[in-house]
Structure 1
């Protein structure tokens, strides 16, 4: 079976609402951070469909035994926030994935070359083959950071088909690079904007998500 690169933009009214709040330049940074947290929560909810491993068990209700479905806690789940802006989505994701281990990956973009370099790598040397990995990064613009992150993860045994990327805004340059390199990957975004300017920013986008999340 041929694996396909998939991009989902869930038509959920709460996702649309918090996206509008995040886009607004007049939104104060504290409310912006709350909006990103909520987007992390709802996009992770959508990403978890048919992704989280489950198992059937027998549950004793007050009246009779019945079959129930539970999350299989034996299958490892990991969240990888791309620092620093990915931390904004992490809080919302963790409310739905409380048992997931968190591995931080710090990447910084050279504003002249638009290439990403790593300044912090807390990934394990090897992931178990069945590990589900959720990457959080608000902006997929030129693709430099997310491609670096995927390279680091796949070198450590992560299966792109078991990987989900949660972002707020995605743009064609990043999506095209991901599709060419990782056809089994799935991306969940609040929206897709078509323009990336000469400075590597998505238009209309969110501005500098990291600065707006942390008020710097």
Structure 2
């Protein structure tokens, strides 16, 4: 390990309470204590998927670093299997990142297009983590060009996007409280493209969950 990552591992509070974290409603979760939660570290450690965010940001976009903390990957119960990430072949996958140095806020990200849970890692995740926010994102319950085949009736697949973001927001608020032993003071929703639609739907239908 580099000197900086070794220092991070000795910092008081690094990944504290990780073993006690339980994402409410998750059918599977795995926790990792990481020296770097931004893509400056997660690309090499395998805790993101560059294919998810390929083409969404300028190639020279700066990558912040120096954000140690906990990453939770997992999924909620779901019957569809369009997301093959981690070899799980299971939809409703999520990622939650909890930095050691927390500003009290939480950002919920709606994935663009038919991309998966890591799609906003470069555009939003790196930026908010470096400023002390916890961060959570979901694959929306179905992914890829054939996403519309999920569900029994036309529109079911798209409607699931909204319920999955709501599910994630509630679960992420709870697990963030578990980690820091105090409630989230500010919850923000961010998204681009289809993710922007998801944000608008959340603010219109679940305004109590968000501050902006």
The answer to whether TM tops 0.5 is no
TM-score, normalization: structure 1? 0.26
Structure with the greater alpha carbon radius of gyration: 1
